[in-house]
Amino acid sequence: MIFPTNKNEMNNLGWDQCDVIIVSGDAYVDHPSFGTAIIARVLKAEGYKVGILDQPDWTSPDEAMRLGAPRLCFAVTAGNIDSMVAHYTVNHKKRREDTYTPGGKAGRRPNRASIVYTNMLRAAYKDIPVIIGGIEASLRRMAHYDYWSNKVRRSILIDSKADILIYGMGELPIKEVVNRLAKEETIRNIQNVPGTVCRVKDQIPDSIELPSFETVQQDKKAFNAMTRLQYENRVFPYAKTLYQQHGDQLLCINFPAKPMSRKELDALYALPFTREPHPKYKESIPAWEQIKNSITAHRGCFGNCTFCAITFHQGPRIQSRSSESVLSEIRELTTKSWFKGTISDIGGPTANMYDITCKIGGCKEMNCLYPEICKHLIIGGQKKYVQLLKDAASLPGVKHAFIASGLRHDLALADLSAMETMVTQFTGGHLKIAPEHLVDDVTRIMNKPEGRLYFQFLEKFREFSRKVKKKQYIVPYFISGHPGCTDNMMLELRKQLKNSNHKLQQAADFYPTPMTISTAMYYTGYHPLTGEKVHVPKTEKEKQNQFGMMMWHRNTRFKRQDPRNE
């Protein structure tokens, strides 16, 4: 079945009322790459009637009532992408499209969608609990620097006036919260669920108090102290519960939810997703077209790159599905009329981290890959990933299986046998790599491998490609204007790129998004984990110059490009 998006569809199901209504800034696509679909399927499996209010017109009061009032709660998400990132480029210009909207049309979700949608619901239904979640809420769960207004903002739970915020991958927290509501527990008493943020009266023992919103708003040293504490308390089971005062309100940021076990993850992906958009849409949804033939094999990332939000959202641990779970999903995919035999990707945030584990079960530091690969990391998982690719490619109805989500090149170099198979058998002409930079003083700040490792990988990639007589290319991704990067460092990068004849297709100016370590550096001028003073490119001229140096092969030297619009 598909979930209802209006009362006519509810009537067709014989429903008088939904138990939970999910409000989303995305079009409704019943595919496990879309957070709304996952949460809807999880709640349905618990026995709840779920409706989806997809991309409601926030200017119309009637839109909040499209499905009527839910029995238990509203669950609000801005969508798969932060609404401000969806709307604006790094230089604050409006984007021309929104890939999560039919026809790719821009303007179907508001700025700061989580806040706007919650206010819309509150105006229509004052007494019904509202839960916010998704990446927009997750990365604004405490006081945070907001690039678009250039100031420190309060927790989005305060600004939205929602009842509870769920951060991270929300399947386990949403089940507990909704189950407790179903048992007639009041929303204000649900205060101890891992992976949630709520308002409380008192701080519990053995917890950590963050500097208050008012303090971090005025004091950049306090802001960095807050950032360091949130970083140190992001890993289950080492994290403690955090508290932060916002005026007369005390926020409790409960410690993170336990990562899903393999059995739980397999059960999640075995839910009966249709893998398609709601049939009411008359236009294609670009984001679905891009991922419809792809498979998610795992979650999380060991990298802890300072500019990346994954460590604070999906987490710094790998949660992998079993090979049989992945293969079962592929068998289902082959039954679709639009599937033509090519699996575009089997992966996750980084494809070759599938099934990589830690001998000691992880630690608080989680510096797994920098400055070198940790001795406790079991990188043999790459062989399991290669076997998974082989098994997938051998299934009836599958002609090809490729890697599109990119490889971590230092990991690949640590297992050349697995790398050779990935390059020679599962690269579809182009392979994505994200070195981000090649100058060591910059990669150190980014928590990325040294530049020499990229060139070692490139040499091996070319060697393996020649061996099977294939013309294949690396598609590297680079960033300009990152904190810690000076013009002289960019000149050195330009020299290395030019000497190696790298003409970049994938490149961008650094985009400060909420909660990352790099964003804290951008705002304060200091590294929050080390206290090191860093140079921050901020002026339009400097940022344009740095991007122009990186894109040396273009005549439009000073015209920054946004890869999302190319």
Asked if residue 275 is part of any domain, the answer here is no
Helix-helix angle 416-425:451-467, to 10 degrees: 60
Question: Are 387 and 445 within one domain?
Answer: no
* pLDDT for the residue 186: 97
Question: Are 135 and 30 within one domain?
Answer: yes
Question: Are 241 and 334 within one domain?
Answer: no
User: Would you state the torsion angle of the CA atoms of residues 190, 196, 202, 204, taken in this order, to the nearest 10 degrees?
Assistant: 100
Structure tokens at 500: 């190696």
Give 116's contacts (C-beta < 8 A, 6+ positions apart): 58, 110
Determine the Cα–Cα distance for residues 379 and 346; give it in Å rounded to an integer.
18
What's the pTM?
0.95
Q: How far is CA 243 from CA 7, 143, 208, in A?
A: 41, 11, 6
* pLDDT for the residue 555: 60
Number of domains observed in the structure of the chain = 3
Asked if residue 45 is part of any domain, the answer here is yes
Give just the sign of the alpha carbon dihedral 255, 256, 260, 261.
Answer: negative
* Residue in the structure block whose two tokens are 């490792």: 453
* pLDDT for the residue 367: 84
Asked if residue 278 is part of any domain, the answer here is no
Picking from 35, 2, 483, the residue whose alpha carbon sits closest to that of residue 224 is 483
Last residue of a domain, one of 253, 271, 302: 253
* pLDDT for the residue 362: 83
Asked if residue 274 is part of any domain, the answer here is no
Asked if residue 1 is part of any domain, the answer here is no
Amino acid (1-letter code) at residue 184? E
* pLDDT for the residue 345: 97
Picking from 15, 37, 40, 12, the residue whose alpha carbon sits closest to that of residue 27 is 37
Asked if residue 167 is part of any domain, the answer here is yes
CATH of residue 357's domain is 3.30.750.210
Structure tokens at 5: 């998006």
Determine the Cα–Cα distance for residues 401 and 201; give it in Å rounded to an integer.
54
pLDDT digits (tens, 9 = 90+) for 286-323: 999 999 999 999 999 999 999 999 989 998 899 999 99
Contact between 37 and 84 (Cβ < 8 Å): no
* pLDDT for the residue 560: 45
CATH of residue 73's domain is 3.40.50.280
Determine the Cα–Cα distance for residues 317 and 158; give it in Å rounded to an integer.
30
* pLDDT for the residue 380: 83
Asked if residue 356 is part of any domain, the answer here is yes
What tens-digit pLDDT sequence spans the chain (566 residues)?
899 999 999 999 999 999 999 999 999 999 999 999 999 999 999 999 999 999 999 999 899 999 999 999 999 999 999 999 999 999 999 999 999 999 999 999 999 999 999 999 999 999 999 999 999 999 999 999 999 999 999 999 999 999 999 999 999 999 999 999 999 999 999 999 999 999 999 999 999 999 999 999 999 999 999 999 999 999 999 999 999 999 999 999 999 999 999 999 999 999 999 999 999 999 999 999 999 999 999 999 999 999 999 989 998 899 999 999 999 999 999 999 999 999 999 999 999 999 999 998 888 777 899 999 999 999 888 999 999 999 999 999 999 999 999 899 999 999 999 999 999 999 999 999 999 999 999 999 999 999 999 999 999 999 999 999 999 999 999 999 999 999 999 999 999 999 999 999 999 999 999 999 999 999 999 999 999 999 999 999 999 999 999 999 986 544 444 433 33
Question: Are 233 and 365 within one domain?
Answer: no
Asked if residue 270 is part of any domain, the answer here is no
Q: Residues, the chain, total? A: 566
Question: Are 445 and 335 within one domain?
Answer: no
| Phi, psi angles (nearest 5°) of residue 82 | -55, 135
Buried b (16+ CB within 10 A) or exposed e, 34-71: bbbbbbbbbbbeeebbbbbbbbbebeeeebbebbbebb
Instruction: Count the neighbouring beta carbons within 10 Å of the beta carbon of residue 322.
Output: 16
390-395 contacts: CB < 8 A, separation 24 or more?
Answer: 390/421, 390/425, 391/323, 391/327, 392/295, 392/326, 392/327, 392/330, 392/343, 392/346, 393/343, 393/425, 393/426, 395/327, 395/330, 395/331, 395/334
Range of the domain at 153: 7-253
Give just the sign of the alpha carbon dihedral 122, 127, 128, 132.
Answer: positive
